[in-house]
């Protein structure tokens, strides 16, 4: 349903932090037009999109938006507990789907989205942005190449201030967000699964407070390999945000920490540690002033990949619905183990 110029048409559902990030990406993606947006805060959201240079009109409901604006795809950037209903509505309306992570609050809810995509033969992708984050892409490529030899150990860290930017404080309600385990830590669980598959055993501990599982520590056992992963959003407001990994191979170490400004570092043999060359899109930073991340690069890469799939008619092979369902199941399994409910 592209327009006379051949441009794809999209509807953005949810104009909060992530919706604002996506709106800015659509402003610079070639061959893609955001023709409408949906948010119950119509006036506030319209002002925000106008400020970000987005020409889309904001509607109060998805039904109204789809009735008034023809589109090829729907981009769901809503609180997690709403993902299932809105994703299925879009799919059953014959639209392609991009849904923010996590795909759903449970594996069963994720399965219902998958079934809707199958019965409509739809193109669908999930916003597991680390699959498209340049430094994490480089890690996965280096591991796959075998250049560094056998992977000996792998650790992930993801820490941030308690999120206070969600409507009605939904991030801090476990029944709506799943807490830090499902909303934050799941990024690294997804990368681990993509790189290594399912672990042989899992050991997890969580810190619980009014946000639910607000900090999680997990160890994953593989053959001759242990992976550690820590994620928490129970830090003070001015803490900021940190994501990091360290991968120790037989012949090299790769190290990345978003807070030190050094980029992705490689150390091998007797050589001094050096910065690896990591190609990045020239997208700049977010102008919305919201959320915990301002770098647009990974979001640009994932939405460019998704819209390219629409243009070619090919279904995504990265960040698929099934992979996103597995990441949800893994994060929930970790919490269950920590709570003594699963082995």
Residue 184 forms part of a structural domain: yes
Is residue 35 located within the same domain as residue 111?
yes
R_g of the chain, CA atoms, integer Å = 20
What is the 8-class DSSP label of residue 183?
A: I
In this prediction, residue 297 carries a pLDDT of: 82
Residue pointed to by tokens 């992976």: 227
The token pair at 275 is: 């910065």
- Cα separation values, 18 from 195, 207, 293, Å: 26, 26, 10
Residue 2 pLDDT class (50, 70, 90 cuts): low
Mean pLDDT, residues 77-84:
98
Confidence of residue 281 (pLDDT cuts 50, 70, 90): confident
Alpha helices in the chain (DSSP H): 17-28, 42-51, 62-68, 83-92, 107-119, 134-145, 174-177, 179-180, 186-196, 297-312, 321-338
Q: List, for residues 175-191, the tens digit of each pLDDT value.
A: 999 999 999 999 999 99
Per-residue pLDDT, averaged over 19-27, amounts to 94
At residue 283, the pLDDT reads 66
Q: Cβ distance 1 to 21 under 8 Å? A: no
Q: What percent of the chain has pLDDT over 70?
A: 94
Instruction: Based on the fold, state whether residues 202 and 111 are members of the same structural domain.
Output: no
Quick one: pLDDT at residue 288?
Answer: 44
- Average pLDDT score over residue span 64-79: 98
Distance CA 175, CA 182 (A): 11
Nearest-angstrom CA–CA distance, 5 and 117: 28
* Each residue's pLDDT tens digit, 193-251: 999 999 999 999 999 999 999 999 999 999 999 999 999 999 999 999 999 999 999 99
- Note the pLDDT of residue 341: 86
Within 10 Å of residue 225's Cβ, how many Cβ atoms? 16
The reply to whether 295 falls in a domain is: no
What total number of domains does the chain contain?
2
Together in a domain, 90 and 150: no
pLDDT of residue 296: 80
Whether 287 is in a domain gets the answer no
| Same domain? 147 vs 273 | yes
Residues 195 and 141 in one domain: yes
Residue 291 is assigned to a structural domain of this protein: no
For residue 284, the model assigns a pLDDT of: 58
Whether the per-residue pLDDT at 18 is higher than 50: the answer is yes
Q: What are phi and psi of 225, to 5 degrees?
A: -155, 135
93 with 148, same domain? no
- Residue 138 confidence class, pLDDT cut points 50, 70, 90: very high
Report CA-CA distances (Å) from 313 to 30, 35, 73: 17, 21, 13
In this predicted structure, what is the pLDDT of residue 291? 43
pLDDT at 20 over 70: yes
Tens-place pLDDT, residues 297-308: 899 999 999 999
- Residues 332, 305, single domain; the answer is no
Give the domain extent around 31: 8-128+301-316
Q: Hey, what are 101's tokens?
A: 């992570």
pLDDT of residue 253: 99
Both structure tokens of 46: 């319209």
The bridge status of strand 274-275 relative to strand 264-268 is antiparallel
Question: The pTM is what?
Answer: 0.94
Please indicate, yes or no, whether residues 92 and 229 belong to a single structural domain of this protein.
no
> Quick one: pLDDT at residue 292?
43
Q: Are residues 74 and 143 in the same domain?
A: no
């Amino acid at each position: 349903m592209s327009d006379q110029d051949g441009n794809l048409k999209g509807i953005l559902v949810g104009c909060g932090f992530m919706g604002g990030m996506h709106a800015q990406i659509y402003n610079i993606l070639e061959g893609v037009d955001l023709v409408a947006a949906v948010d119950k805060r119509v006036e506030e959201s319209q002002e925000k999109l106008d400020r970000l240079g987005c020409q889309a009109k904001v509607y109060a409901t998805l039904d109204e938006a789809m009735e008034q604006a023809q589109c090829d795809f729907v981009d769901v950037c809503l609180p997690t507990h709403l993902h299932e209903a809105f994703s299925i509505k879009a799919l059953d309306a014959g639209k392609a789907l991009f849904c923010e992570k996590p795909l759903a609050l449970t594996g069963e809810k994720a399965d219902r989205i998958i079934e809707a995509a199958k019965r409509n033969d739809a193109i669908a992708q999930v916003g597991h942005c680390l699959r498209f984050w340049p430094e994490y892409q480089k890690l996965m490529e280096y591991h796959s190449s075998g250049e560094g030899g056998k992977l000996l150990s792998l650790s992930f860290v993801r820490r941030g201030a308690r999120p206070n930017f969600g409507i009605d404080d939904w991030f801090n309600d476990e029944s709506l967000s799943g807490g830090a385990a499902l909303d934050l830590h799941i990024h690294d669980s997804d990368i681990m699964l993509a790189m290594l598959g399912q672990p042989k055993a899992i050991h997890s501990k969580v810190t619980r407070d009014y946000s639910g599982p607000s900090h999680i520590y997990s160890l994953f056992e593989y053959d001759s390999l242990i992976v550690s992963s820590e994620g928490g959003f129970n830090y003070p407001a001015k803490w900021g945000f940190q994501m990091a990994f360290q991968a120790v191979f037989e012949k090299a170490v790769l190290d990345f920490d978003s807070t030190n400004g050094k980029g992705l570092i490689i150390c091998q043999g007797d050589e001094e540690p050096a910065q690896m060359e990591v190609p990045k899109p020239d997208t700049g930073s977010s102008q919305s002033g919201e959320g915990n991340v301002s770098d647009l690069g990974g979001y640009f890469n994932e939405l460019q990949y998704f819209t390219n799939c629409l243009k070619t008619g090919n279904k995504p092979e990265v960040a698929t619905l099934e992979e996103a369902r597995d990441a949800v199941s893994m994060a929930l399994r970790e919490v269950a183990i920590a709570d003594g409910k699963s082995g």
